[in-house]
Amino acid sequence: MQREDDDLMARIAAGSQRSLAELIARHGRGLQSFAARYLGNSSDAEDVVQDVFVTAWKNASRYDPQKARVSTWLYKIAANRCIDQRRRRFLRNFIGLDDLESDPASEAPDAEARVSDRQELSIVRDGIAALPQRQRMALLLKVVADLDVPAIAEVMGTSIGSAEQLLVRARRGLRDHVAASDGRERNV
Mean pLDDT by 10 residues, the chain (188 residues): 91 96 96 94 93 96 93 95 83 53 43 66 87 94 88 96 96 90 57
Question: pLDDT value at position 2?
Answer: 84
Compute the distance between CA of residue 165 and CA of residue 113 in angstroms, rounded to an integer: 36
> Are 147 and 155 contacting, i.e. CB atoms less than 8 angstroms apart?
yes
CATH no., domain 1-100: 1.10.1740.10
> Are 53 and 20 contacting, i.e. CB atoms less than 8 angstroms apart?
yes
Which SS3 state, helix, strand or coil, does residue 168 take?
helix
Enter the pTM of the model: 0.65
Nearest to residue 87, comparing CAs of 119, 122, 112, 79?
A: 79
Question: pLDDT value at position 106?
Answer: 42
Domain segments of the chain: what residues?
1-100, 109-188
Question: pLDDT value at position 91?
Answer: 60
Question: pLDDT value at position 84?
Answer: 86
3-state helix, strand, coil in the chain (%, to 5): 80, 0, 20
Give the dihedral sign, CA 32/46/49/170: negative
> Are 148 and 138 contacting, i.e. CB atoms less than 8 angstroms apart?
no
Domain 109-188 -> CATH class: mainly alpha
69 class by beta-carbon count within 10 Å (0-12 exposed, 13-18 middle, 19+ buried): middle
Question: pLDDT value at position 92?
Answer: 63
Residue type, 160: I
